Amino acid sequence: MLSASLLTGLVAINGLIAGGRAGILYHREAACTSPYQLQSDTLAIDDTSAQNLTLQANCGLKWKVETLADVTSWFIDCNDNLAFNQSTTVAQAVVVDSSTLTIQLDASQIAGFSTNGPGALKVLPPSGALATTGKASYEPASLAVGSYSIPKLTVQSNIMGSAYTHAKSTLKELFGINVTYDPNTMALLDLELPELEDAAIGYDDATVSLAGGDGYYTTEYTLNADRLTGSWLNGRTSYSLQEGDMVINTGDYLITDDDSGREWSCLGGDGQGNYIFNLEVAGITYNGLPVAAAQFRAHIYIYGYNYTSDAATKYGAGTPVDAVIEPLSDKVSNPPTSGAEPIFTWVGEGEKPNLADAFADDVYITWPQDTDASALEACDVEIVLSSLSGDRATLGPDLDYVINTSSNETQIAITLQNWAFQPVYTEMTVTVAGARLQGTRPAAAALSKTYDIASVFVYLTQQGGGGTTVDGTVTTYSFYGLANLTDVSQITVPSNYTLSTTVDGVTQYFAGTTNSTGVYVNSTAAATVFDGSGVEDLNVQLIGNTVYVTTRINATATKTVDGEPVTFTKAYNGGATLSPDAASPYLTGEPGYAINRTATWIFHEKWAWQESIKIGWGGIDVQPYTGKFEWEMDKGSSQQFTANDPSVTWSLLGNESNSTTVSSNGTLFYASDETSAAIALIATSTTDKSYAGQGCVNVVSSILA
Ligand SMILES: *[C@@H]1O[C@H](CO)[C@@H](O)[C@H](O)[C@H]1NC(C)=O
Ligand SMILES: *[C@@H]1O[C@H](CO)[C@@H](O)[C@H](O)[C@H]1NC(C)=O
Ligand SMILES: *[C@@H]1O[C@H](CO)[C@@H](O)[C@H](O)[C@H]1NC(C)=O
Ligand SMILES: *[C@@H]1O[C@H](CO)[C@@H](O)[C@H](O)[C@H]1NC(C)=O
Ligand SMILES: *[C@@H]1O[C@H](CO)[C@@H](O)[C@H](O)[C@H]1NC(C)=O
Ligand SMILES: *[C@@H]1O[C@H](CO)[C@@H](O)[C@H](O)[C@H]1NC(C)=O
Ligand SMILES: *[C@@H]1O[C@H](CO)[C@@H](O)[C@H](O)[C@H]1NC(C)=O
Ligand SMILES: *[C@@H]1O[C@H](CO)[C@@H](O)[C@H](O)[C@H]1NC(C)=O
Ligand SMILES: *[C@@H]1O[C@H](CO)[C@@H](O)[C@H](O)[C@H]1NC(C)=O
Ligand SMILES: *[C@@H]1O[C@H](CO)[C@@H](O)[C@H](O)[C@H]1NC(C)=O
Ligand SMILES: *[C@@H]1O[C@H](CO)[C@@H](O)[C@H](O)[C@H]1NC(C)=O
Ligand SMILES: *[C@@H]1O[C@H](CO)[C@@H](O)[C@H](O)[C@H]1NC(C)=O
């Protein structure tokens, strides 16, 4: 039932309507206060029942609607959006005479509401729905006809998962460790409605799914915790993730060993091991009516790898981009005349501003003749980046950009080099505060310009298998930011093989008269070339955004030569990923991504924990620490470790001996009977439990031990 307070509110709204409040109703003739009016009770949609609504035409207007016509699209919310997610099946004209229209609205047909939470329902008969007679005319006018009282779903999430990589670039099960979730973290779902009754909440068919976001594709993971299982109390329930609930999806690809396949990769995320996933809860009902879906975030932190030493050689240590401050010269041939708007001109490499490259992007503003910009300062300029997922970042004046100004032109040199993979910023808005402009100040709207930008290079991450020489090991290459990557041939070199064997100490190749019978030849050029992409061979497949390739060592095939069966060894070619240059005819970047077609994929790789990424790094610093392989100890010895945060608790991961211990002050004893060659010593801040509050060293037993 609708609450008394809501009903009162509705009456008040109707009172305003009846009063013919300007702006709500359209009327052309002074005598006609409203083209039509509500004749029945107001609708109160709070369950799945059907209700009738009668509208009376005024001013000699006549309804021109077919009986049984679908009028679902007439219903709008208070923001003038369609009230329902669908535009048919909910409302039907059941009685039409010339002046009276009865609409039956069947709430059980509502698939969803366009607004999350309760709202006012209005009707807006389109032009043509009321025909004119005499001088009266109808132009579409909306009328408040009721309300829907559906709870608003909000979700607050602090879901935090983490996994330590043991100094590897991908998270492997070296220590039998998967991503685990802090038991204290969960998503709290809240349904808000006055006088909400828990018994009316339907969640049997509710689902939780991975929604789109930056830095990952939904096809890459399988979310096993896809239901709401907790009970509801006062409109609240919780949802949490447990180990194994969100796992890498490898499709149906055959994975044979532990080195194979895909794993959480430290390459990606925000470049510091932070992965932010958007989850969506949908399908909750209230009194049988659908509650709008809501999204929330889960944060997974993959830590323990410091790539600085390797990355520095490829990318430097994040050397600041140099701003080229040019003597200001007119960037437009005809500067704006007095009173005209300033002209914004972008000058940079490529097709649009690219904040990922090593070059400054310049925005020049050419001012109208009656405006004097000579007093502008960097802090008068605001540069805001935004992503499709709703992330925003504001650049720092004199840090991420500098300005150079004269009376008639301002150069804004954006020097930021963005290293992180996510968020993927797609837009940049440059706004100048007018206070320090002298002379005529252009209108505020003229002082802002939004650009489509790129902030991330299309990139690949290699996971699984790389470098192993075990037959059957699967290596994977995941691509991010490539639009229309649909076929493996777009991105890999075709694979094939020839057959060889040694006869009397001489290498001979197979040339087939059929594919099973043939002769020996003495060069690869003369040998028959077979397709090498099949399941028995390199099994090259594109699954989602990931290329899978199986390593084959000493694969053989038996053929008939001179009437005798001969076992040949297969020698493979191809299977490697194509460079962006070679792939370029097919592939373009998604919004926010840039492709450098002259670079290799290595240029497009950026690695986790590279020194260049400083923003946001707030991990506990554990010392002593020696870089990639961190710290070596002899078995049977002790070592005192310290952290830059005195509040930490110390813990161990991966020790097999109970005699290996760490004391509360960080003294690690590496037991003589320890059988694990490497363990992790972890310092966790007790004051800051956020993702940044953990640090570790990987301790390996010394080779001398
Ligand atoms: C609405 O009006 C139609 C036609 O008069 C009638 O058949 C129907 O039962 C009414 N529905 C409700 C819910 O009153
Ligand atoms: C880690 O996850 C894998 C795959 O989901 C599972 O087979 C394995 O048992 C898990 N390991 C642990 C230690 O739970
Ligand atoms: C802009 O100012 C510069 C000097 O600061 C001058 O050389 C140039 O002619 C001016 N351009 C216009 C269009 O007024
Ligand atoms: C690839 O995608 C881009 C962006 O969506 C589009 O402009 C382009 O036409 C597509 N190319 C092909 C070959 O489909
Ligand atoms: C390879 O075979 C060709 C013809 O079958 C022959 O002429 C040539 O001498 C052979 N070369 C060697 C190095 O055996
Ligand atoms: C032999 O195999 C090749 C490559 O796999 C194929 O193109 C060819 O059609 C086959 N020939 C016969 C006779 O089956
Ligand atoms: C198997 O392949 C490896 C690497 O290609 C090679 O060194 C080795 O000799 C091969 N073994 C046999 C039995 O052919
Ligand atoms: C075999 O594969 C290699 C590498 O992809 C390629 O260069 C060569 O042209 C292929 N050979 C044939 C006959 O397709
Ligand atoms: C593209 O890559 C080439 C080769 O690595 C490099 O010299 C060039 O500066 C890059 N261009 C951009 C815009 O990053
Ligand atoms: C990574 O290692 C370097 C030394 O090689 C050290 O200076 C730096 O602080 C380390 N970074 C992190 C985040 O541990
Ligand atoms: C270590 O301690 C645990 C828990 O007390 C026990 O279950 C385990 O057997 C012990 N391991 C060894 C090697 O003593
Ligand atoms: C830390 O604790 C260990 C064992 O409890 C003790 O031997 C050592 O002296 C302590 N170190 C400091 C610096 O307090």
**Position 670 pLDDT exceeds 70:** yes
Q: Could you report the per-residue pLDDT of 236-290, keeping only the tens digit for each?
A: 999 999 999 998 898 899 887 777 888 877 666 776 677 889 999 999 999 999 9
Who wins on pLDDT, 162 or 592? 592
Which of 659, 663, 669, 681 has the most ligand 12 atoms within 8 A of CB, as the residue to mutate? 663
Confirm if 146 and 42 have CB atoms less than 8 A apart: yes
Report yes or no on 13 lying in a domain: no
Q: Which neighbouring-strand residues pair with 679? A: 699
Lowest-pLDDT choice from 245-249, 453-457, 680-684: 680-684
Does ligand 7 lie within 6 Å of residue 470's CB atom? no
Task: Say how many Å lie between the CA of residue 494 and the centre of ligand 8.
Answer: 7
Looking at the fold, whether 96 and 219 belong to one and the same domain comes out as no
pLDDT in tens, 570-608: 999 988 888 777 666 678 899 999 988 887 665 665 555
Q: What angle do CA 358, 360, 365 make, to 5 degrees?
A: 165
Residue 329 Cα to ligand 3 midpoint, Å, equals 7
294 shares a domain with 161? yes
Lowest mean pLDDT among 177-186, 228-237, 570-579: 177-186
Does this model's pTM top 0.85? My answer is: no
Residue having the nearest C-alpha atom to atom 7 of ligand 4: 588
588 CB under 6 A from ligand 4? yes
Residue 246 lies in a domain: yes
Same domain assignment for residues 418 and 380? yes
Same domain, 466 and 535: yes
Would residue 344 count as lying in a domain? Answer: yes
Q: Is the pLDDT of residue 615 over 50?
A: no
Give the CA distances from residue 21 to residues 34, 45, 79, 123, 132, in Å, rounded to whole numbers and listed in that order. Answer: 10, 25, 17, 16, 23
Residue 233 lies in a domain: yes
Residue 618 has pLDDT above 50, yes or no: no
Question: Ligand 4 atom closest to Cα of 587?
Answer: 1
Contact 371, 442 (CB under 8 A): yes
pLDDT classification of 466: cutoffs 50, 70, 90? low
28 falls within a domain: no
Of 221 and 135, the one with more pLDDT: 221
The yes-or-no verdict on residue 689 having pLDDT over 50 is: no
The mean of the pLDDT values for the chain is 84
24 falls within a domain: no
Q: What number does the ligand 2 atom closest to the CA of 244 have?
A: 5
In contact, 339 and 371? CB cutoff 8 Å: no
Q: Are residues 534 and 488 in the same domain?
A: yes
Query: Ligand 6 atom 8: the closest Cα is on which residue?
Result: 515
Please determine, for residue 24, whether its predicted confidence score (pLDDT) is greater than 50.
Answer: no
Looking at the fold, whether 216 and 141 belong to one and the same domain comes out as: no
CA–CA separation, 431 vs 74, rounded Å? 39
User: What CA dihedral angle connects 284, 290, 291 and 294, to 10 degrees?
Assistant: 70
Give backbone dihedrals phi and psi of 123, rounded to 5 degrees, phi first.
Answer: -115, 140
The predicted pLDDT at position 1 comes to 31
Q: Which ligand is nearest to the CA of 255?
A: 2
Distance 654 CA to ligand 11 centre (A): 13
Q: What is the total count of domains within the chain?
A: 5
For the CA of 349, the closest atom of ligand 9 is 13
- Across the range 355-370, mean pLDDT stands at 93
Q: Tell me which range, 518-532, 642-656, 663-677, is most confidently predicted by mean pLDDT.
A: 518-532
The reply to whether 98 falls in a domain is yes
Name the least confident of 182-196, 307-321, 574-588, 623-637: 307-321
Clarify whether residues 163 and 79 are in a common domain.
no
| pLDDT at residue 209 tops 50 | yes
Output 572 or 695, whichever has higher pLDDT. 572
Domain's final residue, options 453, 477, 497: 453
Whether residues 136 and 158 share a domain: the answer is no
Q: Does the beta carbon of 584 sit less than 6 angstroms from any atom of ligand 4?
A: no
Looking at the chain, the whole-number percentage of residues with pLDDT higher than 90 is: 54
162 lines ligand 3 (CB under 6 A): no
Pair 133, 64: CB distance under 8 Å:
no
Residues 128 and 195 in one domain: no
Q: What is the CATH number of the domain that holds 85?
A: 2.60.40
Highest mean pLDDT among 126-140, 144-158, 414-428: 144-158
Whole-number Å distance between alpha carbons of 286 and 316: 56
What's the DSSP call for residue 562?
A: T
> Of 149, 173, 191, which residue constitutes the final position of a domain?
149
Residue 616 has pLDDT above 50, yes or no: no
Closest residue by Cα to atom 1, ligand 12, is 665
Where is pLDDT greater, at 64 or 611? Answer: 64
- Nearest ligand to residue 264 Cα: 2
Rounded to an integer, the average pLDDT of 481-490 is 90
Whether the per-residue pLDDT at 699 is higher than 90: the answer is no
User: Is 309 in a helix, a strand, or coil?
Assistant: helix
Q: Which of 99-108, 291-300, 330-339 has the highest mean pLDDT?
A: 99-108
**pLDDT number for residue 151:** 95
Which residues are 386's β-sheet partners?
392, 427
pLDDT tens, residue by residue, 390-419: 889 999 898 889 999 999 999 999 998 887
**Are residues 448 and 540 both part of a single domain?**
no
> Ligand 3 pocket, 335 CB below 6 A?
yes
Residues lining ligand 8, Cβ inside 6 A: 493-494, 496, 529, 573-574
Window from 47-51, 431-435, 468-472, 492-496 with minimum mean pLDDT = 468-472
- Structural domain boundaries enclosing 199: 153-305
Encoded amino acid at 12, one letter: A
Residues with CB under 6 A from ligand 12: 663, 665, 667
Question: Tokens 């840039």 sit at which residue?
Answer: 594
Q: Are residues 269 and 358 in the same domain?
A: no
From the CA of 251, how far away is ligand 2's center (Å)?
17
Mutating to test ligand 10, I would choose from 611, 631, 681 the residue with most ligand atoms within 8 A of its C-beta, which is 611
Q: Which ligand is nearest to the CA of 530?
A: 6
**Nearest C-alpha neighbor of 533 from the set 497, 569, 583, 568:** 497
- Of 112, 130, 149, the residue at which a domain comes to its end is 149
Q: Which two structure tokens, joined as six digits, stand for 658?
A: 């109970």
**Which of 145, 125, 149, 71 has its CA nearest to residue 103?**
71
Which of 3-7, 259-263, 568-572, 645-649 tops mean pLDDT? 568-572
Residue bearing the bigger pLDDT, 379 or 29: 379
Residue 374 lies in a domain: yes
What does the pLDDT average to over 347-370? Answer: 92
Domain shared by 345 and 487, yes or no: no
* Percentage of the residues of the chain whose pLDDT score is greater than 70: 82
CA distances to 79, 157, 614, 684 from 693, in Å = 43, 18, 16, 6
The whole-number pLDDT of residue 467 equals 65
